[in-house]
Structure 1
Amino acid sequence: MEDCGISVILFDLDNTLVDTAGAGKVAIHKVSELLKNKLDRANISDICEQFGHKLLKESFNPSAGQTIDEIRINHWHEALQEAGGVDPGRDLASECYCMWKTTRLQNLSLSPEVLALLDDLRHSYKLVLLTNGDTQTQQEKIEAVRCEGLFSAVVVGGEHAEQKPAASIFTHCFELLGVKPQDCIMVGDSLDTDIQGGFNAGVRATVWINKKGGSPPENTMMPDYTIPSVLDLPNVLANLR
């Protein structure tokens, strides 16, 4: 690809390069099947929905003495108690978590099309994977999709004092590669973390992956470019030349 004044592309991971949401749905279905064989009259869908809510609101502090695995076993334990109305014990909660985690990781992958895109881009740009989240969780995903070799740098938010949208973690990326913010673009699916973070850090452009369509909600950061899939990124790069 021709030079367009950009030397670095920062990529988010979840729901940008890999379909984490889709893998999560498959994992929840597997847990539902497990629970149908374990519980007689429990509302399985409510249990799974409760777990999903707890996952979204999750706040993990590694210095608090619990691992992320223990925290998420607790999510399942609480969901079973709250939605099921009984306490089937932590053994079942552990079994649910193991099934959910294993299935989700097994269903995470770079599609052949995304893999080909990254392989093409890395011949013209330095690629950086910049992902928020707990260190263990994100490293397990990176290992599962076998993508680390495609990037000049991999930066996981949980390993730093601040995560996206804080400018500091972007500055860390710039310093790693010896580039300026204007040399970079940020590509991601989250307006609150990826797009706001790119703006905070002063990158050349922000690219929002909007798979659902529609306009950004009010009072959110407006991206410079909006595309339905990361596969459309070459069109943005061509426009930036």
Structure 2
Amino acid sequence: MAAEGTGVRLSALLFDLDNTLVDTAGASRQAERQVKDLLISQHGYEESVADLVIEKFNTKLEKEHPDPSTKIDIDEERTLFLELAIRETNRHKPDLDLAKQCYFLWKRTRLQHIHIPEEVKAMLMELHQSYKLLLLTNGSSSVQREKIKVCQCQQYFDLIVVGGEHPEQKPARSIFQECFRLLGVKPDACVMIGDNLKTDIEGGVNAGVRATIWINNNNGKPDGESTVPDYTVKSVLDVKDILENIKCKG
């Protein structure tokens, strides 16, 4: 929970990327629709079968945990996920060409729909006048760096830390400690802002940040084992008002 009266000035904000600053889930849905249309219109798939291919692909993505010590090509790995999803669904022989066609359509469409909204950009620029800003995002280096590039994140943040480039990702304390070191601040001078209770909120709490802000844009319901955030908002645009509240308590 928020530390009150620490005597340390609030000076840094740690932002998550996916589904905090950018609507990655929405971009993924757009990409899935394109793949579904391709399977149905060009390859004769029934709608229910195309839906199952996408469901199996997403299940494999959710279990994906890239090891930064290995040199796995993420595009090759995800193409394999789609090839397996197609084979498991249709009981067909492996079709690498179809898997590649579907995967790169999915990837291209998703990147086209990933962007930081203009009002969020304006908020970041305003906050940057008063705070150090650090982007802390989990995921493989290549995938996250592509998103960071298309969103032009560099202009809004002092530092960008990608979990897949470090030995441990959120919620590990070590990656938060690395962020504090890079920023040159103490944990209780920082606020962690993100949409994931496990990685962002629990990670921030365990690392000793001043406060955590949960972006609950899907009306999620924490379970009994979830770490309780200090503040909950529906939109990242509500963060400015929360920061004023934190400063008043500080």
Q: TM-score range by the shorter chain?
A: over 0.9
Residues 1:67 and 2:64 aligned together: no
Quote the offset at 1:214 in angstroms. Answer: 5.0
> For 2:154 and 2:71, how far apart are their aligned partners in 1?
29
**Secondary structure of 1:16's aligned partner:** coil
Pick from 120, 127, 130 the counterpart of residue 121 of structure 1.
Answer: 127
Runs of 4+ in 1 over 3 A off after TM superposition: 62-65
Amino acid of the structure 1 residue aligned with 2:116: L
Residues 1:84 and 2:67 aligned together: no
> For 1:129 and 1:25, how far apart are their aligned partners in 2?
24
Quote the offset at 1:235 in angstroms. Answer: 1.4
- Contact 1:12–1:187 (CA<8 Å) still a contact in 2? yes
1:163-197 Cα shifts (integer Å, max 9, x gaps): 10011111111111110001000000000000011
Amino acid of the structure 1 residue aligned with 2:36: S
Flag structure 2 segments of 5+ consecutive residues without an equivalent: 1-7
- Contact 1:142–1:148 (CA<8 Å) still a contact in 2? yes
Flag structure 1 segments of 5+ consecutive residues without an equivalent: none
Stretch of structure 1 that moved more, 229-238 or 212-221: 212-221
Match of 2:38 in 1: 34
> For 1:156 and 1:40, how far apart are their aligned partners in 2?
40
- Contact 1:51–1:76 (CA<8 Å) still a contact in 2? yes
Match of 1:193 in 2: 199
Match of 2:157 in 1: 151
Pick from 29, 39, 62 the counterpart of residue 56 of structure 1.
Answer: 62
- Contact 1:8–1:184 (CA<8 Å) still a contact in 2? yes
Residues 1:102 and 2:101 aligned together: no
In the alignment of these two chains, the number of paired residues is: 238
Residues 1:11 and 2:8 aligned together: no
Match of 2:229 in 1: 223
- Contact 1:186–1:205 (CA<8 Å) still a contact in 2? yes
1:172-225 Cα shifts (integer Å, max 9, x gaps): 111111100010000000000000110111000001011122542111100011
Match of 2:175 in 1: 169
Amino acid of the structure 2 residue aligned with 1:168: S
Pairwise CA RMSD:
1.4
Quote the offset at 1:85 in angstroms. Answer: 2.2
- Contact 1:81–1:87 (CA<8 Å) still a contact in 2? yes
Distance 1:65-1:111 versus aligned 2 partners, 3 A rule: closer
**Secondary structure of 2:43's aligned partner:** coil
- Contact 1:80–1:87 (CA<8 Å) still a contact in 2? no
Bigger relative contact order (CA 8 A; separation at least 6): 2
> For 2:67 and 2:39, how far apart are their aligned partners in 1?
30
Calculate the TM-score normalised by the size of structure 2: 0.92
> For 1:120 and 1:62, how far apart are their aligned partners in 2?
34
% same residue: 50
> For 1:100 and 1:26, how far apart are their aligned partners in 2?
8
- Contact 1:9–1:127 (CA<8 Å) still a contact in 2? yes
> For 1:62 and 1:186, how far apart are their aligned partners in 2?
24
- Contact 2:21–2:116 (CA<8 Å) still a contact in 1? yes
